[in-house]
């Protein structure tokens, strides 16, 4: 019963923070996935009132990065020497589903490499262990929420192209779409 | 079915104790977040009949402090050598929601630095991993409870300013408000 | 469906056993909090069909003692070298709520110091991490149970004074009340 | 829906097996508490479809023995070098309640000392951490079950004497009762 | 909603596989208990959609073997150097109850000793920690299932003799019954 | 409430990915089982919103490979030095049942040996610890889904032959079936 306001996109100026698009009972929403590292032993901590499936997305994103660390220039020792925390703010709202996978992978990669994320960019997509980006639902509502928040560019799975094609032009004016097949393409485009 | 009395603010004269504002079924309430350190291995223990989301706030507050310990002059070895206990008294009342985040962050920082908290100051606000303070609900009820308890100053998220603006002057007479965007601003203002 | 008799207070002649006052569906009851130490690694074991909140009271009591061990002359090595067991007899009765906090703190302190508890003394009160004793409910029923069991002296939170004031004289004849603000005051009064 | 027959008492010829009296939905029953040691690290394993309260009785019995091992001539190293298994046969029947405490303490003590238990003896009683034996319910039904099974001697809490006094002579003919206040008295009487 | 066919007994030619008789909602069934060892640290893994009570049977069987390893010529070091896996195929069917105890004990003993099990033999019976074999229910349905599957010999608890006596001759023609009191008798008869 | 499209089979060009056939509330589906290894200590992580029984299949597949590693030329040290992740994409769909056993065993073996899987091949079958492949249900719906997705060859348990025999020719035109009794036969046929 606590009230929340629809928020505008906020620049966080630090690595590890990525904007996602979620589909909740009250319509589309932007959400931030925050990740940070601290001295530790490789433990992953998840907060933000996340459901089982969303928690699995974070585990999956971390495993993808671990298995492919050489390709991304990350020293695999870091996985033993840092604890990793992933938080999705607005803890009063339960959050679930697989569509934050791409956002979590990007947030973790940003934290591990220290590279920031481009501004006013948001994304939604399920990921797989082999690094594919799968289509997700609620595309129209998510795009409306992104526009309302001041987002300029949106990353989607190639397989969601047909969902964007069905949306009236007036709703997507001023938005640029970037379609990807893999996590790798996403990171190449998004990390500064 | 045990009865409780509405209590007046009490000075605890020790670091690690911070006054929060909660919103329960019976209206606004002040609550104390107590934290203490003992010889240990870095384990965090939470007591006080806390719900999942409130427990997550404590985890989140601790992770924020760990990730930013250098900025606050805390030696990171302390996180391996002390156990940390956070307790929210009045165990008969279940407590949940994210709005004690700012109170928990302040209590932990007070315990780690040994700096006491200013007197007759209370606070409410959700925190994020990157250190933002988000708005929370129930502002009017919380302010009434603070006043009733003898609180003189209240810390809120900048985004809760509009909620205070809607409250009649008579209810907030004698109270000073301090609006913050970040945990850092809160600590600068509150720790002695 | 097993039957139990209302029992008389029994002297146990050993440290670590303290008489508490509980408030159950069938009225006030005396209960014993027993604690013992054995060779170990610092593990706390709780038995007696205790609810979550009562279990938390034991954790809280132990943390309070750990954080303040120097003040009580307890060598902090003991916390790594002993296992601690807390039991509340009459396992057929589920027990919950925060009001055994003061009893648990006293039982643990008695076990750690080897000091026995005064005879025919009972107590009820919630504790906090900073060592306060908070008021609890059901005072009248608890006092009747204590009297029936042959208790001579009762420890209560200072804030429960008003509850005793409302009870008719005939019910409290022969009982001595001792009001406390802190765990420390309790221990000073109760441990022999 | 599997059928079971009311069984006669069976001699097991080995230490660690003790006969208890239980009170189930279908009336009184004898049950065996079996315990065995194997090379290990001090882990306690419980089987037999036991409820939470009955599991706690085994933990409690073990803690009592650990805390008082010197008095019983048990080398405390054994608690680190053996695993302990407690099983209550007839796994199709859920079993709960505190009244097997005395039986579990006796079975464990028999296993640790290698001393066998007297024949055709059965017992029922809750135990406490300080070694008291508390009265339990269902005494009449338990005595009938013991007689039916060929038991000759029954151990009860002193406080259950009044329950036996209310039973007609014809039901207890040929049974010898032994009333105890403590686990120590029980063991002195029961272990060969 | 996946369909299964009533299967014929299959020879597995390897140690560690034993045929049991189960009683499910759709009548009697044969089931296989498979066990295997791999390099490890003594961990027991259970799969096959097993209920709590059936899981306990495997724990119990393993504890029995550990406690009596010398008698069976098993070096106790193996329990620290191997992981043990017990699987009951046909994962779509939930399985529970204590009657697979004898089958699990036999499968484990076969795996630990490397001795195979006699062909076309099946068994059902609860076990206890002291090595007794207790009677179980559903004997008639289990025998019909065994016959249908081509089983030639059946191991039962001595106390199930009366249940076999009540079955018409035509149903048990061609089957040989072997009645046991203990796990030891079972193993002597069944392991090659 | 997120929408998904029926997907076409996709080549992943890497070891560790295998195509399975599942039977869900909306008919047959192809699913991918992905597995990957990363530096670790032998921990198995499972993601993809999997039910208990499907999780057990992965445990079972891994135990089968561990117990038979020599036969497959896998050095058993790898099980201590790598963490293993198994993921089944499309996290919005709960997945359960034993029929992915064969797919999981193949994916893990592909990951451990580095051998890729033949293209356009899919499989369904329960596995057992001794390496058998058991029949599963929903064969007709699974075959239709495989054909729709562009699969050319399907691996089934020998005991599912009769289910294929009942399907009209027009539905299985262009598909090649390979019937197996064991995991070993499957791997010999499927791994390149
Ligand atoms: Ca929002
Ligand atoms: Ca929750
Ligand atoms: Ca209050
Ligand atoms: Ca009582
Ligand atoms: Ca319980
Ligand atoms: Ca609770
Ligand atoms: Ca019985
Ligand atoms: Ca159960
Ligand atoms: Ca079958
Ligand atoms: Ca299940
Ligand atoms: Ca699909
Ligand atoms: Ca789930």
What does the alpha-carbon distance between residue C32 and residue E26 come to, in Å, rounded to a whole number?
52
Of A120-124, E7-11, F26-30, the range with the lowest mean pLDDT is: E7-11
Inter-chain residue contact F97 with E91, CB threshold 8 Å: yes
Digit-coded pLDDT (tens) for C80-118 = 999 999 999 988 888 999 999 999 999 999 999 999 999
| Average pLDDT, integer, range F2-21 | 74
What does the alpha-carbon distance between residue F17 and residue F37 come to, in Å, rounded to a whole number?
12
For residues C27 and C145, the answer to whether their CB atoms sit within 8 Å is yes
Q: Is the pLDDT of residue C5 over 60?
A: no
What does the alpha-carbon distance between residue E64 and residue E174 come to, in Å, rounded to a whole number?
33
| Average pLDDT, integer, range A38-62 | 95
Task: Provide the b/e sequence for E18-47 (b: ≥16 CB within 10 Å).
Answer: bbbbbbbeeebbbbbbbbbbbebeeebbbb
What does the alpha-carbon distance between residue E49 and residue E95 come to, in Å, rounded to a whole number?
7
Inter-chain residue contact B130 with A36, CB threshold 8 Å: yes
Q: By the CB < 8 Å criterion, does F159 face chain E?
A: yes
Digit-coded pLDDT (tens) for F172-182 = 999 999 999 99
What does the alpha-carbon distance between residue B95 and residue B97 come to, in Å, rounded to a whole number?
7
Does pTM top 0.95 for this prediction?
A: no
Inter-chain residue contact A47 with B60, CB threshold 8 Å: yes
Q: By the CB < 8 Å criterion, does C189 face chain B?
A: no
Residues 42-71 in E contacting D (C-alpha not used; CB under 8 Å): 52-53, 56-57, 59-60, 63-64, 66-67, 69
Residues 6 or more apart in contact with residue F3 via CB below 8 angstroms:
A137
Residues 6 or more apart in contact with residue D102 via CB below 8 angstroms:
D20, D123, D124, D125, D126, D127, D133, D155, D183, D186
Residue E125 CB-density burial (10 A; 0-12 exposed, 13-18 middle, 19+ buried): buried
Q: What is the pLDDT of residue F25?
A: 67
Whether E66 is a known active-site residue: answer no
Query: Which three-class secondary structure state does DSSP give residue B123?
Result: strand
B3 versus A20: the higher-pLDDT residue is A20
Q: Is the pLDDT of residue E39 over 50?
A: yes
Digit-coded pLDDT (tens) for A73-94 = 999 999 999 999 999 998 888 8
Task: Give the closest ligand to the alpha carbon of residue B95.
Answer: 6
Residue D146, by phi and psi: left (phi above 0), alpha (psi -120 to 50) or beta?
Answer: alpha
**CA distances from residue B32 to B11, B90, B104, E146, F32 in whole angstroms, order as listed:** 11, 9, 10, 67, 51
Q: Is the pLDDT of residue C24 over 80?
A: no
Positions in chain D short of pLDDT 50:
1-5
Confidence band of E85 (pLDDT split at 50, 70, 90):
very high
Residue whose C-alpha is closest to residue E124's, from E86, E160, E156, E172? E156
Digit-coded pLDDT (tens) for B50-102 = 999 999 999 999 999 999 999 999 999 999 999 999 999 988 888 899 999 99
Which of F27, F64, F67, F79 would you mutate first to test chain E, the one with the most E CBs within 10 A?
A: F67
Digit-coded pLDDT (tens) for E117-168 = 999 999 999 999 999 999 999 999 999 999 999 999 999 999 999 999 999 9
What does the alpha-carbon distance between residue F115 and residue F106 come to, in Å, rounded to a whole number?
10
For residues A37 and F28, the answer to whether their CB atoms sit within 8 Å is no
Q: Is the pLDDT of residue B152 over 70?
A: yes
Digit-coded pLDDT (tens) for F63-81 = 999 999 999 999 999 999 9
Please state, as a whole number, how many other Cβ atoms lie within 10 Å of the Cβ of residue A165.
Answer: 7
Q: What is the pLDDT of residue F23?
A: 82
The alpha-carbon gap from E150 to the nearest alpha carbon of chain F, in Å, equals 18
Q: Is the pLDDT of residue C4 over 60?
A: no
Residue whose C-alpha is closest to residue D55's, from C40, C47, E54, E126? C47
Task: Give the closest ligand to the alpha carbon of residue F97.
Answer: 10
Q: What is the pLDDT of residue A25?
A: 65
Q: By the CB < 8 Å criterion, does A116 face chain B?
A: no
Q: Which chains border B (3 or more CB–CB pairs < 8 Å)?
A: A, C
The alpha-carbon gap from B158 to the nearest alpha carbon of chain C, in Å, equals 31
Inter-chain residue contact F91 with A137, CB threshold 8 Å: no
B164 CB-side CA count, 13 A: 18
Confidence band of B104 (pLDDT split at 50, 70, 90):
very high
Residue whose C-alpha is closest to residue F191's, from F56, F76, F72? F72
F6 CA from centroid of ligand 11 (Å): 5
Q: What is the pLDDT of residue F50?
A: 94
> What is the chain B residue with the closest CA to C25?
B1
Q: What is the pLDDT of residue B7?
A: 64
Residue A112 parent element (H or E): helix A101-113
Digit-coded pLDDT (tens) for D100-131 = 999 999 999 999 999 999 999 999 999 999 99
Inter-chain residue contact E5 with F130, CB threshold 8 Å: no
C30 CA from centroid of ligand 4 (Å): 6
Inter-chain residue contact D53 with C16, CB threshold 8 Å: no
What does the alpha-carbon distance between residue A104 and residue A21 come to, in Å, rounded to a whole number?
12
Residues of F serving a catalytic function are 99, 142
Residues of A serving a catalytic function are 99, 142
* Touching, A vs B (3+ Cβ pairs under 8 A): yes
Residues 6 or more apart in contact with residue C125 via CB below 8 angstroms:
C99, C101, C102, C133, C134, C135, C136, C155, C156, C157, C160, C180, C186
Inter-chain residue contact F85 with A138, CB threshold 8 Å: no
For residues D86 and D33, the answer to whether their CB atoms sit within 8 Å is yes
Q: What is the pLDDT of residue E40?
A: 93
Task: Kindly report the average pLDDT of chain D as a whole number.
Answer: 92
Residue D70 CB-density burial (10 A; 0-12 exposed, 13-18 middle, 19+ buried): exposed
Residue among F7, F45, F91 minimizing CB distance to A53: F91
């Amino acid at each position: 019963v606590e009230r929340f306001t629809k928020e505008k996109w906020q620049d966080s100026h630090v690595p590890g923070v990525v904007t996602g698009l979620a589909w909740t009972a009250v319509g589309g929403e932007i959400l931030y996935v925050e990740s940070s590292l601290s001295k530790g032993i490789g433990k992953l901590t998840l907060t933000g009132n996340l459901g089982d499936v969303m928690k699995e997305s974070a585990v999956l994103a971390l495993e993808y990065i671990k298995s492919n660390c050489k390709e991304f220039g990350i020293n695999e020792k870091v996985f033993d020497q840092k604890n990793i925390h992933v938080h999705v703010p607005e803890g009063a709202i339960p959050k679930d589903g697989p569509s934050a996978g791409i956002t979590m992978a990007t947030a973790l990669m940003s934290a591990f490499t220290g590279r920031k994320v481009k501004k006013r960019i948001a994304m939604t997509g399920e990921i797989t262990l082999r690094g594919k980006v799968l289509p997700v639902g609620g595309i129209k509502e998510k795009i409306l929420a992104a526009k309302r928040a001041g987002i300029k560019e949106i990353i989607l799975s190639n397989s969601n192209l047909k969902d964007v094609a069905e949306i009236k032009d007036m709703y997507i004016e001023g938005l640029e779409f970037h379609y990807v097949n893999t996590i790798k393409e996403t990171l190449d485009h998004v990390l500064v």
